[in-house]
Amino acid sequence: MKNKITGKTLLLMGSKAFKEKKLPHSVSKKIDQAMMRKMTVIVGEAPGANRAFQDYLASSNYHKVIIGHAKSIRYNAGNWKTRKFGDKVRERENKMILVCDSAIIIWADKSGVIAENLEVLKRLGKPTFLYEYSNETQTGKASWLDPNRVYDPYFFWKEHMRKKKRVNTKSTKHMSPKSEPD
């Protein structure tokens, strides 16, 4: 995994719990580098980090932005193009991760959703700049995604349960009312 932003498409993703109005300098510096390379930026529409990302991109007057969403669009600071990446949040986030070449993630208060996304990015080998933030101490730390670190200790269990649920759902749909036991 490279420790630099590469490719043509950058994903910006982060925790709703990130309440700062301005992006950390280390994060905005990486976004500036991506904008200078004229990368397409995909960013979500949820409150928190995504709002800070959008506000920064809008204040930079950057136009190569796509707002990724699932059901609805809650925020679009630059009136950019939008793209529905799925019907559910988990589907949206996975599809956004699949289409990106690199990512910048703000992970506030060890959010479980973001932890799971970090595991997916790590397993796919996508260069990811990570900013970990604590609302309690109001401190942050910037680094590159560590391929040896466990971000979500329950990742494999969650994947197993999702697959099990899909299998159970499919088998239930194939049962007809007459095939039920008396």
Q: Is residue 178 part of a domain?
A: no
Greater model confidence, 78 or 170? 78
Model pLDDT, residue 180: 47
For residue 95, the domain's CATH number is 3.40.50.450
Model pLDDT, residue 159: 72
Q: What are phi and psi of 7, to 5 degrees?
A: 85, -165
Model pLDDT, residue 171: 61
Contact 104, 11 (CB under 8 A): yes
Task: Identify the CA nearest to 140 among candidates 12, 13, 26.
Answer: 26
Q: What are phi and psi of 151, to 5 degrees?
A: -90, -35
Q: Is residue 174 part of a domain?
A: no
Q: What is the tens place of the pLDDT at every residue in 28-81?
A: 999 999 999 999 999 999 999 999 999 999 999 999 999 999 988 999 999 999
Q: Is residue 58 part of a domain?
A: yes
The boundaries of the domain holding residue 80 are: 9-152
Q: Is residue 163 part of a domain?
A: no
Give dist(CA 106, CA 129) in Å, integer.
9
Q: Which residues of 83-122 are buried (b: 16+ CB within 10 A; e: fewer)?
A: eebbeeeeebbebbbeebebbbbbbbeebebbbbbbbbbb
Q: Is residue 44 part of a domain?
A: yes
Q: Is residue 84 part of a domain?
A: yes
In the numeric block, the tokens 């996975």 are attached to: 94
Q: Is residue 167 part of a domain?
A: no
Contact 43, 53 (CB under 8 A): yes
Greater model confidence, 17 or 158? 17
Give dist(CA 127, CA 172) in Å, integer.
40
- How many domains, the chain? 1
Q: What is the tens place of the pLDDT at every residue in 117-130?
A: 999 999 999 999 99
Q: Is residue 104 part of a domain?
A: yes
Q: What is the tens place of the pLDDT at every residue in 139-153?
A: 999 999 999 999 987
Residue 155: pLDDT band with limits 50, 70, 90? confident
